[in-house]
A = this chain, B = another copy of it.
Amino acid sequence: MEPGFDIVKAGHIEFLVTDLQEARRFYADTLGLVVTETDRSHIYLRGLEDRHHHCLTLTESGAPGVGHLAFRVATEAGLKALEGVVRAKGGYTKWVEAGEEKGQGKALITEDPFGFPVEFYTKMADEEWMLQKFQSYKGAKVMRLDHFNVMLPDVAAAYDWYVKELGFGCTEITETEGLTPDLWAAWLRRKHTCHDIALTTGKGPRVHHAGFTVADRSSIMDAADLLASSGYLRSMERGPGRHGVSNAFFLYLRDPDGNRIELYTGDYVSADPDWVPIRWKLNDPQRQTFWGAPTPASWFNDAMAVRSPKTGKFAELTSPRIKDRPDYLLSAN
């Protein structure tokens, strides 16, 4: 019960992009993420609320996908403890020296038991807080990274890993219908929001999206207008709308390489340690979009490949044993 480490929050994510300048136009010029630093093959970005070096790294690469996702950990001792926990479950680990990832201290890169490239880190260089530099606000006015959403064949096993081994709390779940429902998805948190990571059933390991917080619904509406008149009409995959799960207001976007992010606002504070998970049935039409709008098939079909820190290649995919989408979408296809 005393893990020896304290995971703070979803910290940052590395997106692989095939054209760094196209990606910059999307994330920085249009959505308004702040460029902290660049080099020949990377752009390091942070949100207006961030006080650290980056929450999103864009890395030029031959194919799109996710290089790694990272959780911030309270202490360096915690990183060492995590090394043991990951290895005990058969995961791969490797130390990353301070500065190897720009702005970051010594870190632990792992391939977790489910094949995800997960980094744990403690130190990140301080950067100027732009929260009250309103003259630098633009586009969607992205505040900060909020969460990761990952897709994998066995959510129940990953739930145990995150909750029992890594100490996450569960705020909401989705289960299948029937007498003996399967756990289909789970929303898990360390910081006091709806989630730091969501686990959903599907062919995996893949990252479904990274969620970025914006200030309010108006920011999302304004972003939709802006994208629609800036040549990004086809980037808007789903929304704007209200979620059932999380109660947040959302807009899902595909970047020029097809990588997916969510603009997200208005979930709740989940500080209570005895929080009883909210339960949803997979087929509930209000679960995904509270207003009942159907989710496009691409939302279930497409997700981002993850690059193995062990092999440097994209992870092989496994299909789930149980259905990977609601029945109303199965029948529509």
Contacts and interface: CB of A to CB of B under 8 A. Distances in A.
Contact of A234 (B193, B273, B292): B292
A291 B233 contact: yes
Interface string A189-218: 011110000000000000000000101111
Nearest to A271: B191
Contact of A236 (B133, B221, B227, B291): B291
A332 interface: no
B271 A8 contact: yes
B193 A269 contact: yes
19 contacts: A51-B272, A51-B275, A126-B276, A132-B229, A134-B225, A134-B226, A138-B138, A191-B269, A191-B271, A193-B269, A216-B266, A217-B217, A217-B221, A224-B291, A225-B291, A228-B286, A234-B292, A236-B291, A240-B240
Interface in A124-145: 126, 129, 131-135, 137-138, 143-144
Contact of A225 (B74, B228, B290): B290
A98 to B, nearest CB: 16
A237 to B, nearest CB: 10
Interface size class of A (residues with CB under 8 A): 35 or more
A272 B229 contact: no
A144 B267 CA distance: 13
Contacts of A227: 291
B135 A292 contact: no
B272 A8 contact: yes
A217 B286 CA distance: 21
Contact of A269 (B49, B52, B273): B49
